[in-house]
Amino acid sequence: VYNETESHSAQPSSASQMIPQSIIIGVRKGGTRALLEMLDIHSDIVVAATEVHFFDWDENYEKGLEWYRNLMPLSYPHQTTIEKTPGYFTSAKAPERIHDMNSSTKLLLILRDPTERVISDYTQVYYNRLESHKSVQPIEEIVIKNGVLNTKYKAVQRSLYDFHMSNWLKYFPLDQIHIVDGDTLIRNPLPELRKVETFLKLPPRIMASNFYFNHTKGFYCLRNDGRERCLHESKGRPHPVVNSTVLAELRAYFREHNERFFSMVKKSFNWH
């Protein structure tokens, strides 16, 4: 017998593509992929598979909000849609554009030690260049130019969290930007994810049993619906050993910026 109510509630047509209620804005190499994949375990969260680059790339932004919405996964009304594009955090235009779309968008920002982030950023570019048979320079030669710290180096600039954060705080109140500690997420993911669930006002559904430590990879991997998987091999690559003087110069440069950042966000982190 045809039962209208039942057949309607079972219809996938009640699922639709929504603009994200929450966005992971960065930072590049902060652990954005790990955060997105881990949040995807939650049954009330759906995630965009690829980086969308809507708010930071003019040629995409000009395509309009419908173009953006069409890149989002199907979701049911009780679900939260999340996309991640690490370039948003350091984009001058992204804060205002996201605010224009929806001023109540919940922002997620995952950060790690700024010096460690520079090395991770360098390592990614290093591998990309190796793969396309381009020459690679040691990190020390890029970071130090003519005996002084090369503050023009993009990877260094991206680690000036105070500078970028001040841009976001022009448009969003601090309590609408949840900061995930990327160093902690590596070592012990669950407590950091619990805080995100609370921030997104979702019931706690991600469990310790969703993670297992993979000793070969040296990182936590994911277990969900009976499947086990680690992040892509480009995530969690060994870093080069960096000359200790260069490391000390980077740390000294970031120290003041970090202090400013801590007072801006009313929270401090265990960065060197």
Q: Which residues bind ligand A3P (CB under 6 A)?
A: 28-34, 86, 120, 123, 185-186, 219-220, 231, 235-237
Closer to ligand A3P at the Cβ: 64 or 240?
240
Question: How big is the CA angle at 184 (ends 178 and 188), to the nearest 5 degrees?
Answer: 115
| Element of type H or E holding 161 | helix 161-168
Q: Is 201 a catalytic residue?
A: no
Report how far apart, in Å, the C-alpha atoms of 87 and of each of 33, 164, 178 are: 13, 11, 17
The position carrying tokens 């019931």 is 203
- 239 contacts: CB under 8 Å, gap ≥ 6: 116, 119, 120, 123
Nearest approach, Cβ of 219 to ligand A3P (angstroms)? Answer: 4
158 is annotated as contributing to ligand binding: no
Amino acid at 4: E
**Residue 30, marked binder:** yes
Structure tokens of 135?
A: 């020459």
Consult the annotation and say whether 112 binds a ligand.
yes
Determine if residue 220 is labeled as part of a ligand binding site. yes
Three-state secondary-structure class, residue 108? strand
Q: Which residues contact 144 (CB under 8 A, 6 or more apart)?
A: 150, 246, 249
Q: Least distance to ligand A3P from the beta carbon of 117, Å?
A: 8
Nearer to ligand A3P, 145 or 239 (CB): 239
CB of 156 to ligand A3P, least distance (A): 16
Nearer to ligand A3P, 193 or 231 (CB): 231
CB-nearer residue toward ligand A3P: 45 or 110: 110
CB of 212 to ligand A3P, least distance (A): 11
The tokens describing 162, both together, are: 């105070």
Decide the pairing of beta strands 144-145 and 106-111: unpaired
The verdict on whether residue 238 carries a ligand-binding annotation is yes
- Catalytic positions: 29
Binding site for 3'-phosphoadenylyl sulfate: residue ranges? 29-33, 112, 120, 220, 235-239
